[in-house]
Chain A
Amino acid sequence: MTVAEAAATALATRHRVRPLEALPWVLAVAAFFALPEYLAVGTQILILVLFALSLDLVLGYAGIVTLGHAAFFGTGAYAVGLLSAHLDWHEPITGLIVAAAAAALVGLVSGWVLLRTHGLTLLMLTMATMTLLHELANEQENLTGGFDGLPVEIDPVLGLLRFSPLTYSGQYLYALGLLFLMFLVVRRVVYSPFGHSLTGIRENILRMHAVGAPVRQRLVTVYTISAAIAGVAGGLFAQVNAYITLDVLSLERAATALIVLILGGHGRLYGAFVGAALYMILEDELAKEFPEFWQFGLGLVLVLIALFAREGLTGLFAQAAERFRKRARS
């Protein structure tokens, strides 16, 4: 097989499902049966995976560096919260659809306006948009509860899976099912011709302009899709926690998704899974007992990743696998 043929085969088969891809799902289902007392943390992990996955679409694939992704997470969360508090709308699935639509709208409008810029300006504008929404939610105290937060009341999913504070199995299954569904969407987008053109924009935006690709339109499209998914994550967060505060729109929330994604590896689909699981488990173990050390360690890991391991953990794993394969061949 010539090099060109090998490359053609690799390109033609790269979207196929590899056996290893079943691993996170098998683990997630296994955790349901094996670790019933950890399902509360498990649900939070699944939500964080979904949020980081949405960020992966814009950051990892389209190369849009944003510090304001919590704008969409928060919009989704407040959409569910406001429906429940003011319109007596407690049905979870339609609630999430509204959350996705609201976040997508914010994504479309802000993306349409902001994505003309790049670099520091874009970074600032995404952050400022998020903070603007934060201030808005803070100001509209009658609607959002302001600083005190907003209680959220949700009916059982399809009348079956209950959001009970005593058993977490219902919400875990609900979150897992949603994550799987959203993951299929993201995977589909990433391996479509549209997804490839996004990678092209990330790698060389000038050349994409030169070959006549509608760069800005594609960026706005992926930004909107990503916003909708982040909105679902936020809506799910509101439903599961039964309470939301302004925290869902904070810089910390946006930074957490970024850290999780970078730790796991961006532009790799499964980076979000590895990063979120590791982050939440470590946080659960360390953050309450040793908050300073947790924060210091988190910072140190970021510095080390920036300097030495830009591809994150899944990247390191892929490199090790590659080296192993080469050694086996020679």
Chain B
Amino acid sequence: MESIDIPSIVLGGLAYGMLLFIVSVGLSVTMGLMGFVNLAHGAFAMIGGYVVVTLMGGLGANFFLALLAAFVLVALVSVVFERLLYAPLYRADELSQVLLTIGLVFMMIATVTFFWGTEPKTIRLPSYLAGPMDLGFTSFPAYRIFMIGVGAAMIVALWLGFERTTIGAQIRAAVDNRRMAQSLGINVDRLFTMTFALGSGLAAMGGGLGIEIIGLNPQYALNYLVFFLIVVAVGGLGSIRGTFLAALVIGMFDFAGKRLYPEAGAFFIYAITIAVLLWRPQGLFGRR
């Protein structure tokens, strides 16, 4: 076993945590808004990844343009899904929502397998992101540094949008108390559609950003779903701060755990999750 390199484990865990945050944050806010159990969120991320692969591989598109395209495309598609399929089940019980979204996951996995096959996909990163980067005290893959930067920028942008804009205030109000927000004239349904689109778009972008870190194959939608859900449940529904913290903690622990005790695998994460949820069933920063 290689010697234990603390800085590289911390940086690696941080990069992974940022990725978890970008994918999960939309899920947290939409679940907090509507209480809708959306198991198809990971599938949106997967579709985003395949859009990036296709644009870059077939059309030779720029990495950043491909990410942007994935964001826009999946956000648009998710609005159609939301209006046609999700909206009729807002008042329904969890079981219906679980069934609907698991069904969607299966359909998306099948579609992806049909068009792209089961082999894992990779992309060619721009050269300045591909190699290692010398940080003085350690040398580290440039892409992970980039990932940490993107995650940090994202949290700042989301925080500003959430805390400093009217729409952000409306979303916070609706998460806190939907009925009260509605009676104050806030159109919660439209707010939800917008948030849903934004969240799915971010997930799609995360899917593209994550190809280099966690890979991409049709089982992605199910394999990583558990992680995204854990981040959301541990962080607390509807809380950006909670999601961020949970994503970092879980990213770090998972990365460090797999690096230091590879045989124990993901054991830590599930143990931590169970402990946190038993201690605070509503999550670290959840309301109620």
B233 to A124, Cβ gap below 8 A?
Answer: yes
Q: Shortest CB–CB separation between residue A137 and chain B, in angstroms?
A: 11
B270 to A302, Cβ gap below 8 A?
Answer: no
Say whether, besides A124-B277, A132-B267, A299 and B106 are in contact (CB < 8 Å): yes
How many angstroms from the CA of A252 to the CA of B278 in the assembled complex? 25
Residues of B close to A296: CB separation below 8 A: 106-107, 110-111, 114
B94 to A123, Cβ gap below 8 A?
Answer: yes
Interface size (B, Cβ < 8 Å)? 46
Q: Does A135 contact B (CB under 8 A)?
A: yes
How many angstroms from the CA of A295 to the CA of B108 in the assembled complex? 9
Residues of A close to B94: CB separation below 8 A: 65, 119-120, 123
Say whether, besides A132-B267, A132-B271, A295-B110, A307 and B95 are in contact (CB < 8 Å): no
Contacts between the two chains (Cβ within 8 Å), count: 130
How many angstroms from the CA of A310 to the CA of B264 in the assembled complex? 40
Which segment of B17-25, B65-73, B96-104, B124-132 sits at the interface?
Answer: B96-104
Residues of A close to B99: CB separation below 8 A: 258, 262, 302-303, 305-306
How many angstroms from the CA of A136 to the CA of B267 in the assembled complex? 7
How many angstroms from the CA of A124 to the CA of B37 in the assembled complex? 11
Interface string of A189-210 (1 = CB under 8 A from B): 0000000000000000000000
Interface string of B245-288 (1 = CB under 8 A from A): 00000000000000000011111001101100110011100000
Interface residues of chain B: helix, strand, loop or mixed (majority): helix
Q: Does B226 contact A (CB under 8 A)?
A: yes
Q: Does A241 contact B (CB under 8 A)?
A: no
B286 (CB) vs chain A CBs: closest residue: A121
Residues of B close to A188: CB separation below 8 A: none
A127 to B264, Cβ gap below 8 A?
Answer: no
Say whether, besides A123-B37, A123-B94, A128-B230, A300 and B281 are in contact (CB < 8 Å): no
Q: Does B222 contact A (CB under 8 A)?
A: yes
Q: Does A173 contact B (CB under 8 A)?
A: no
Say whether, besides A136-B267, A310-B96, A121 and B226 are in contact (CB < 8 Å): no
B267 to A135, Cβ gap below 8 A?
Answer: yes
Say whether, besides A124-B277, A255-B102, A131 and B226 are in contact (CB < 8 Å): yes
A298 to B106, Cβ gap below 8 A?
Answer: yes
Residues of A close to B111: CB separation below 8 A: 292, 296
A135 to B266, Cβ gap below 8 A?
Answer: yes
Interface residues of B in 60-109 (CB under 8 A from A): 85, 88-89, 93-100, 102-109
Interface string of A237-260 (1 = CB under 8 A from B): 000000000000001100100110
Interface residues of A in 4-32 (CB under 8 A from B): none
B107 to A300, Cβ gap below 8 A?
Answer: yes
Q: Does B53 contact A (CB under 8 A)?
A: no
Q: A residues engaging B (CB < 8 A)? A: 59, 65, 67, 113-114, 116-117, 119-121, 123-125, 127-129, 131-132, 135-136, 138-139, 141, 251-252, 255, 258-259, 262, 291-296, 298-307, 310
Extra 4 A-B pairs, beta carbons < 8 Å, given A65-B94, A306-B103: A117-B277, A119-B35, A124-B230, A302-B103
| Interface CB pairs A-B, < 8 A, 6 | A121-B281, A121-B282, A128-B226, A251-B222, A294-B110, A306-B97
